[in-house]
Amino acid sequence: MQKEYLYVILVGLPARGKSTIAGKLSESLRRDGIATRIFNNGELRRRLSKENTNYPEFFDPCNKVGAALRERYAIMNLNHAKTFINKNGRKHKVSIIDATNVSLKRRKMICQMLPEDRVLFIECINNDQEILEANISNKVETPEFANLSVEDATAGFKRRIQYYEGIYTPLQSERNFIKVDSFNYSVIKVEVDGGLPFVDRIRDFLVTPFIKNLYLVRHAETYYNQENRIGGDSKLTPYGHLQARRLAEKFKNKRIPMIFTSSLKRTVQTAMPIKEAQQEAKILLLDEFNEINSGICESMTYNEIREKIPEVTAARKQNKYFYEYPQGEGYVSMEERIERGIKKVLYLSKPSENIMIVGHRAVNRMILSYFVYKRKEDIPYIYLPQDSYYQMVISQNKKVLQLKKFI
């Protein structure tokens, strides 16, 4: 069997999702039986350098000492990538170089060191300022910045980005490349010679969500649930707190680095015991996952709506998905914000990690329908009990959905 191999070279400014894409490609290619390894320049530098290299001026192109060190580690990593490809073993191999590689000079050096007809550049582009800020907030809480305050680390990381922006030349003249919108899971441009191995699979991977495990949880019982009221910002009942503790026990042996919730009390209260049962976990509040806004019907019971505003009840029965509450929302008007929330979750999470979303009934129905096809008229009737959670496993080759009880 003829040996097939490829060097995937990531390109892009810091915080543009390169490492997330590297992890996703690595997991996906390995599942296809292709031996794959990631070579991260930054990790190599932090591991081998005896001096502090996380201060922003280290990345100043005018800093000759810093530039020489970064060049040295880049060359070292390329040699490691070549060794992996050339050593005996599987016939199908991919080396992924995870680094900024934003300068034309650096990319020319890469093409001189590697066979150009086996190099694929992937440029990660993301100009969504809100998600960039969120990603920077995640990065400055990593061990690399442990010696700095959050404020100093954030300011320093943004200066680092500015230094890279000064030398950034987008992909254009390279022989083989793909430009990808890393937040919206869309390919912007493809320029690839015929015969380059694995490219069709890689292009497909770039636009397909990859989720190891997504645990989709509805918040525990609230006082409004007891009273059959809709909307509002009710707290959990004592039984609701018990449900949350039971849920935490269920997941205490599963590592969940980030728990995404809405900004409403009931989802945060449900998530807190789960966070406390984890060794290291963060709760990230996303307004996109707030429950459907029921407008003039907020905090009313269904009986009160039937009695006081019967036209609302009658209109919703006609088409629940497309109906919008007066001065509020409907399922149809939630589509855009729910999709944005899902994209935030995928962008901020690593492909190799478990993900949890603690949401609401209507919200979770919309999240489920995003990943698993449902007719729109059926979405408002998806079963979402408060004593169970959905587990989803999603890759290019399979989708698995299970409803599991925890109490």
User: What are φ and ψ of residue 76, in 5° steps?
Assistant: -60, -45
Comparing 116-125, 216-225, 289-298, 345-354, which segment has the lowest mean pLDDT? 345-354
Residue 219 is among the residues annotated as catalytic for this protein: yes
pLDDT on residue 52:
84
At 46, list the tokens: 């932090």
Interatomic CA distance for residues 290 and 292, integer angstroms = 7
Residue 335 is among the residues annotated as catalytic for this protein: no
Residue 266 is among the residues annotated as catalytic for this protein: yes
Residue 241 is among the residues annotated as catalytic for this protein: no
Residue 63 is among the residues annotated as catalytic for this protein: no
Looking at the predicted structure, is the pLDDT value of residue 51 above 70? yes
Q: Among 221, 288, 291, 324, which one carries the catalytic annotation?
A: 291
User: What are φ and ψ of residue 393, in 5° steps?
Assistant: -120, 125
Helix (H, G, I), strand (E, B) or coil at 85: helix
Q: Which of 404, 389, 407 is nearest to 243 (CA)?
A: 407
Interatomic CA distance for residues 140 and 215, integer angstroms = 26
Q: Among 218, 229, 316, 361, which one carries the catalytic annotation?
A: 218
The torsion defined by the Cα of 329, 334, 337 and 343, in degrees rounded to 10, comes to 160
Q: Among 360, 361, 364, 365, which one carries the catalytic annotation?
A: 360
Domain 211-405 sits in which CATH superfamily?
Phosphoglycerate mutase-like (3.40.50.1240)
At 80, list the tokens: 């490691």
Could you tell me how many residues make up the chain? 407
Interatomic CA distance for residues 8 and 123, integer angstroms = 10
Mean pLDDT for 288-301 is 97
264-279: pLDDT as tens digits:
999 999 999 999 999 8
**What angle is formed at CA 52 by the lines to CA 50 and CA 57, rounded to 5 degrees?**
135
Element (H, E) at 247: helix 238-251
Percent of the chain with pLDDT over 70: 100
220-233: pLDDT as tens digits:
999 999 999 999 99
Provide the residue ranges of all domains of the chain, joining segments of one domain with +.
Answer: 4-206, 211-405
Q: Among 16, 70, 266, 316, which one carries the catalytic annotation?
A: 266
User: What are φ and ψ of residue 316, in 5° steps?
Assistant: -65, -35
Plot region of 185 (φ>0 → left; ψ -120 to 50 → alpha; else → beta)? left
Residue with token string 């505003």: 309
**What angle is formed at CA 258 by the lines to CA 246 and CA 215, rounded to 5 degrees?**
55
Helix (H, G, I), strand (E, B) or coil at 9: strand
At 178, which amino acid appears? I
b/e for 146-177, b at 16 or more Cβ within 10 A?
eebeeeebbebbbebbebbeeeeeebeebebb
pLDDT on residue 1:
52
Interatomic CA distance for residues 11 and 172, integer angstroms = 12
DSSP calls for 41-66: HHHHHHHH-SS---SGGGG-TT-HHH
Identify whether the C-beta of residue 212 lies closer than 8 Å to the C-beta of residue 352.
yes
| Domain 4-206 and domain 211-405 have a common topology | yes
At 187, list the tokens: 């390919």
Interatomic CA distance for residues 1 and 347, integer angstroms = 38
Domain 4-206 sits in which CATH superfamily?
P-loop containing nucleotide triphosphate hydrolases (3.40.50.300)
Q: Among 45, 219, 229, 361, which one carries the catalytic annotation?
A: 219
User: What are φ and ψ of residue 200, in 5° steps?
Assistant: -60, -40
27-48: pLDDT as tens digits:
889 988 999 999 999 999 999 9
Interatomic CA distance for residues 53 and 61, integer angstroms = 14
Q: Which residues, other chains included, contact 16 with Cβ-Cβ below 8 Å and sequence gap of 6+?
A: 124, 125, 126, 132, 182
pTM comes to 0.91
Q: Which of 260, 270, 274 is nearest to 221 (CA)?
A: 270
Helix (H, G, I), strand (E, B) or coil at 120: strand
Comparing 149-153, 184-188, 197-201, 348-352, which segment has the lowest mean pLDDT? 348-352
At 11, list the tokens: 């390109």
Identify whether the C-beta of residue 397 lies closer than 8 Å to the C-beta of residue 216.
no
360-378: pLDDT as tens digits:
999 999 999 999 878 999 9
Residue 160 is among the residues annotated as catalytic for this protein: no
233-261: pLDDT as tens digits:
999 999 999 999 999 999 999 999 999 99
Identify whether the C-beta of residue 124 lies closer than 8 Å to the C-beta of residue 10.
yes
